[in-house]
C-alpha cells in the first residue's frame, strides 16, 4: 500500500506541474489553455531530439528544452492570445483545442507514432524500505516539484516583476492604466507556463515514454486538477494534483482499473457540486 502512495504521488506531481503551467497562464489572461498537454509533449520531444538524436548531455538537453519552450510559449501567445482578446471564453477554448490538434499532428508527422525513451537526469539504484521501492527518478520528480514551487513563490511575492505579474492578474486594465508593462508580463506568463509543461514532459518521458498523443490525457488531468484545487489557486493546484494522483492509483487498485479515467472526472464533478468555486476557492471574480 505504501507503494501505491509513492506511485500515486509521483503521478500526482506530474499532474500538479501541468496544472501549475495552466494556472500561470490563466491567472494572467483568464485563458484556459486546452493545449497544455501538447506543450508537455513538445517538451518531451525537444528533450529527446537533444539528448538522444543529437546526443547532448542530459543537463544541456534540459537547458535547451526550457529555452525552446519559453520561445514556444511566446509564439503561442502571439497566435492565440492577441487575436482572441476580448472574445467569449468558449471561442478561446475551441482555439486552444484546435492548437492542440495542430501540435499533435505536426508531432506525428515530424517524429512518427513510435514511442521513444528519454534518459533520466539521475541515475542509481532505487531506494528500498518497508517493502516500498522509490526510484531515483521518482525522487527527482518530487524534488523538481518542490524546487519549482519554491522558486515560483519567491518570484511572485518577492521580486518586483513577480509582484507586477500578480497585479496584472488581478486587474488587467487597471494595471495597464497604472503603467505596468502588461504585455511583457503576459509574455512572461505564457513563456513560464510553457516551460513548466515542458519540464513535466522531460520528467514524464523517462518513465512513460514519449509519443505524440501523450499530451491529451495528461493535459485533461491537469485541467481536472485545476478545477479541483480551484482555478487561480497555486497551492490548491499542487494539493489537488497530488490528491488526484492518489485517488487514481488507489481507485485503480481497489475499485476497478477499468474506470481509472472516470475517477478524475467523478472527483471533479463532486467537488464542483459541493464547492462550486473549487476546494480552495478561486482568486478571480465573476465577470458579468
Residues numbered 44-83 forming contacts with other proteins, rule: CB under 8 A: 79-80, 83
Q: Is 208 in the site for other proteins (CB under 8 A)?
A: yes
DSSP code at position 179: T
DSSP 223-262: HHHHHHH-TT-HHHHHHHHHHHHHHHHHHHHHT-GGGHHH
Q: How far is the CB of 64 from other proteins (least distance, A)?
A: 23
Shortest reach from residue 163's CB to other proteins, in Å: 26
Cα–Cα dist 269/54, whole Å: 45
Q: How far apart are CA 168 and CA 50, in angstroms?
A: 35
Give, as ranges, the residues between 19 and 48 that touch other proteins (CB under 8 A).
32
Q: Of the ranges 68-76, 167-175, 182-190, 215-223, which one interacts with other proteins (CB under 8 A)?
A: 215-223
Site for other proteins in 264-283 (CB under 8 A): 264-266, 268-269, 272-273, 276
Among residues 89 and 178, whose Cβ is nearest to other proteins? 89
Residue in 59, 78, 177, 262 binding other proteins, rule: CB under 8 A? 262
Collapsing DSSP states into helix, strand and coil, what is residue 118?
coil
- Tell me which of 248, 279, 280, 283 binds other proteins, using CB under 8 A: 248
Nearer to other proteins, 128 or 173 (CB): 128
**What residues from 113 to 142 belong to the interface with other proteins (CB under 8 A)?**
113-117, 126, 128, 133, 135
Part in contact with other proteins (CB under 8 A); list of ranges 42-50, 69-77, 142-150, 254-262 = 254-262
By CB under 8 A, residue 5 contacts other proteins:
no
| 278 vs 271: CA distance, rounded Å | 6
Q: How many residues does the chain have?
A: 288
Contact 156, 162 (CB under 8 A): yes
C-alpha cell at 116: 521513444
Nearest to 218 by CA among 17, 28, 77: 17
Amino acid at each position: 500500500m505504501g507503494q501505491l502512495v509513492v506511485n500515486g504521488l509521483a503521478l500526482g506531481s506530474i499532474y500538479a506541474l501541468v496544472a501549475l503551467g495552466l494556472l500561470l497562464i490563466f491567472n494572467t489572461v483568464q485563458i484556459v489553455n486546452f493545449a497544455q498537454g501538447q506543450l508537455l509533449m513538445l517538451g518531451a520531444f525537444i528533450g529527446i531530439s537533444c539528448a538522444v538524436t543529437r546526443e547532448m548531455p542530459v543537463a544541456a538537453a534540459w537547458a535547451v528544452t526550457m529555452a525552446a519552450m519559453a520561445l514556444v510559449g511566446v509564439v503561442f501567445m502571439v497566435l492565440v492570445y492577441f487575436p482572441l482578446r476580448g472574445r467569449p471564453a468558449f471561442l478561446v477554448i475551441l482555439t486552444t483545442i484546435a492548437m492542440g490538434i495542430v501540435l499533435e499532428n505536426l508531432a506525428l508527422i515530424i517524429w512518427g507514432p513510435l514511442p521513444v525513451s528519454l534518459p533520466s537526469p539521475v541515475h542509481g539504484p532505487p531506494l528500498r524500505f518497508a517493502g516500498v521501492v522509490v526510484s531515483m527518478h521518482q525522487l527527482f520528480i518530487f524534488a523538481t516539484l518542490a524546487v519549482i514551487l519554491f522558486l515560483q513563490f519567491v518570484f511572485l511575492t518577492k521580486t518586483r516583476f513577480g509582484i507586477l505579474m500578480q497585479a496584472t492578474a488581478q486587474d488587467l486594465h487597471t494595471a495597464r492604466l497604472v503603467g505596468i508593462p502588461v504585455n511583457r508580463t503576459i509574455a512572461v506568463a505564457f513563456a513560464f507556463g510553457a516551460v513548466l509543461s515542458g519540464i513535466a514532459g522531460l520528467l514524464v518521458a523517462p518513465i512513460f515514454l514519449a509519443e505524440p498523443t501523450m499530451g491529451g490525457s495528461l493535459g485533461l488531468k491537469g485541467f481536472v486538477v485545476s478545477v479541483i484545487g480551484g482555478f487561480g489557486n497555486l497551492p490548491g493546484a499542487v494539493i489537488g494534483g497530488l490528491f488526484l494522483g492518489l485517488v487514481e492509483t488507489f481507485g485503480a487498485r481497489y475499485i476497478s482499473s477499468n474506470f481509472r479515467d472516470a475517477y478524475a472526472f467523478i472527483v471533479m464533478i463532486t467537488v464542483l457540486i459541493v464547492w462550486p468555486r473549487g476546494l480552495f476557492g478561486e482568486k478571480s471574480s465573476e465577470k458579468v
